[in-house]
Amino acid sequence: MPPKSIDHAFTARSLTGAATDPTYAGALSFMRRRYTKNLTGADAVVWGIPFDAAVSNRPGARFGPQAIRRASAIFDNDPQYPFSRDLFADLAVTDYGDCLLDYGNHQKTPATIEREAAKILKSDAFLLSLGGDHFVTWPLLRAHAAKYGPLALVQFDAHQDTWFDDGKRIDHGSFVGRAARDGVIDPAHSIQIGIRTHAPEDCGIKLIHGHEVEDMSAAAIAEAIRQRTAGRKVYLTFDIDCLDPAYAPGTGTPVAGGPSSAKILSVLRQLGDLDVVGADVVEIAPAYDHADITAIAGATIAMYYLGLLAEKKARR
């Protein structure tokens, strides 16, 4: 075992390697990764986007990145379940900190997020973003599509987010429709999992409703995702309200009748063969959480993203 240390987020000399901070102490970067704006050698970058001015119900997701980082301390750098490995033995990951946004001028928010995301993507590192409300996925999609072309969207959510808008609204409920109309995503290869509300249109995106998720096995859901995306470049977005409120009470628009965290994590575990080029976890609002249930779920989802990347790198 390496010598014990603390504040690995500041004292680490490398982007690889396990930390040894106590789970209850030390600087709270995501999974104790080194805080730095230097992306040299990074395989993946974790970035917070503390924005929640687009919510239609309960605000508070601006505190999501902090909550996810805090909850990630539970991953104490033993081999991570279910990947049976130290994720950072070979995978170089940095915590890039948060996006600086002007809380008094929200019209500047989309361009600010897109510009900073494009800067990170220029390094060729995988970008894992921590929201924030779901509107932040709109500029993230634009930045990724500018590099990779129209994307297959895999969205875990209770809501379709396809309500019509004028192309200018700052709204967490309409960005998917906008992305479909603007050619940022390819609806014919996009899929939404866990939907438990109705929107006026589906934009040609395949839906797996909440009751269908309940009846399907995790393997069947993963296979449906695999068939729909058909080898295209995928952006994976996870609205924490995809989970039933029993497993994710700390969110702005909870909807009963959703899946368990165990089932959806099992689905994610089986997506390692997808060509995922970017991902996020959004809508965690810790003011409504209990005992960090929601934050732990969000941190675990983010950890799974990195676990799949670590496996993919090991196979090369």
What pLDDT does residue 257 have? 97
pLDDT at 38 over 60: yes
Please tell me whether residue 260 adopts helix, strand or coil conformation. Answer: coil
Q: Is residue 1 part of a domain?
A: no
Confidence of residue 2 (pLDDT cuts 50, 70, 90): low
Q: Is residue 180 part of a domain?
A: yes
Q: Is residue 102 part of a domain?
A: yes
Q: Which two tokens stand for residue 143?
A: 């930045």
pLDDT, one tens digit per residue, over 129-188 is 999 999 999 999 999 999 999 999 999 999 999 998 888 899 998 999 999 999 999 999
CATH number where 275 lies: 3.40.800.10
pLDDT average, residue stretch 60-68 = 98
Using the Cα atoms of residue 49, residue 52, residue 58 and residue 60 in order, give the sign of their dihedral: positive
d(CA 64, CA 47): 12
Q: Is residue 262 part of a domain?
A: yes
What pLDDT does residue 173 have? 86
pLDDT at 61 over 60: yes
Confidence of residue 78 (pLDDT cuts 50, 70, 90): confident
Give the chain's domain count.
1
- Residues that constitute the known binding site: 134, 157, 159, 161, 239, 241
Phi, psi (deg, nearest 5) at residue 269: -60, -25
For residue 80, count CB atoms less than 10 angstroms from its CB and return exposed for 0-12, middle for 13-18, buried for 19 or more: buried
Please tell me whether residue 298 adopts helix, strand or coil conformation. Answer: helix
Structural contact between residues 98 and 50, judged by C-beta atoms closer than 8 angstroms: yes
pLDDT at 301 over 90: yes
What pLDDT does residue 216 have? 98
Q: Is residue 32 part of a domain?
A: yes
Q: Is residue 66 part of a domain?
A: yes
Q: Is residue 2 part of a domain?
A: no
Please report how the helices 64-71 and 293-315 are oriented relative to each other, as an axis angle in degrees rounded to 10: 70
What pLDDT does residue 204 have? 97
Q: Find the domain containing 62 and state its range.
A: 8-315
Phi, psi (deg, nearest 5) at residue 312: -65, -40
**Average pLDDT over all residues of the chain:** 96
Q: Is residue 86 part of a domain?
A: yes
Instruction: Classify 178 in phi/psi space as left (phi over 0), alpha (psi -120 to 50) or beta.
Output: alpha
What pLDDT does residue 18 have? 87
pLDDT average, residue stretch 253-277 = 98
- Residues that constitute the known binding site for Mn(2+): 134, 157, 159, 161, 239, 241
Confidence of residue 79 (pLDDT cuts 50, 70, 90): very high
